[in-house]
Amino acid sequence: MKLLKRLAQATGVPGYEGPVRRVIVEAIRPHVDSVEVDALGNVIAHKIGKGPVVAIAGHMDEIGFLVSHIEEASGFLRIQPLGGFDPVTLVAQRVDVHAAGGDLLGCIGRKPIHILTDDEKKKPIDLADLFIDVGLPAEEVASKVAVGDVVTLHQDFLAYGDVVSGKAIDDRLGVYVAIEALKRAKKIACDLYVVATSQEEVGVRGAQVAGHRIAPDISIALDVCIAADMPGVPEKDQVSQLRGGVAISLKDARSISHPALVRAFRALAEKRKISYQVTLATRGGTDAGGLQLAGDGSAAITLSIPTRYVHSVVETVHVEAIDAAIALVAAFLETANKVDLAG
């Protein structure tokens, strides 16, 4: 898990993925024939081979913020989001402000309950009500922080019980699974591209650009999905189970998985006794939605790792589900030339 920890704790919000991109390039370069970074910041690694052109993609960007205003009198920072947040999860969290002169540790604050009015207590928390305190006098903040500085959530990557947890599991985990499957596969029965995409959290932008460049026959998006097996969620709404294995997606809001690929992955999982589940999502989307529209079109599918508390600093995944995802992707790479997309 050392690589997954490095990936999760690296920083890289949409459009500013540089730090995590450097970790990815270093990790994947020994296992491929070439590595390039395109104009949108995608990492495109190519393992030359025979057979169908296959693209495996996991997005490297994490949700975060940009500093939008610095309060002149107090030095408190106001922020605008890059990606979707539930403001409830942000109150009292630590953050890193990535200023030009060095990172500043801070926290997200709001008025304490003791001085909230009755109306404020009833009002849902809004991002506009929150601010960042970096623990410095206003004049020092103004000299160190600028509007446009990147802010990321601060959290350690931890293992406990049979899970690992931290920030940016969505979707550094997908990138990790892609790299580990590439390393584990005994042979590569395709012409393979492994892509760490940029700006997925703000509209699947990197996948669209990378897809048009690669023009894959088969596209596999690796991402997380909602492990909703928790109190208060009816059984019919539990999209996936934390300990149910890797999730083979039939559809989400952006893509419908190619039926032949669904059959191929289910057959592989059953043949190799890999724990899996089938999911359908009505909301959200993955890089498959961008990749399937590339060139003349690509047969696409999403494989996901069920994750609790998505888009928070305690995103949590089952260790065995991670291994199941790696095993299933590796198995596909070994047999990709046998998939009949017309069948």
Residues near 200 by beta carbon (within 8 Å), at least 6 away in sequence: 14, 59, 61, 171, 206, 207, 286, 287
Residue with tokens 């539930």: 86
Contact of 13 with 64, CB cutoff 8 Å: yes
Separation of alpha carbons 176 and 107, rounded Å? 29
Bridge-based pairing of strands 218-226 and 299-308 is parallel
Classified as helix, coil or strand, 53 is strand
200 is catalytic: yes
Taking each continuous run of H as one helix and of E as one strand, the counts in the chain are 9, 17
Q: How many CB atoms lie within 10 A of CB 196?
A: 35
From the list 200, 201, 315, 334, the catalytic residue is: 200
- Between CA 45 and CA 52 the distance in angstroms is 16
DSSP 314: T
Task: Match 């999911």 to its residue by tokens.
Answer: 279
Q: Tell me how crowded residue 139 is: count the other CB atoms within 10 A of its CB.
A: 10
Outline where DSSP puts E strands in the chain.
34-37, 43-47, 53-59, 64-70, 77-82, 94-99, 102-109, 131-133, 150-153, 158-160, 163-166, 191-197, 218-226, 246-251, 276-280, 299-308, 315-318
d(CA 246, CA 250): 13
Catalytically active residues, by annotation: 200
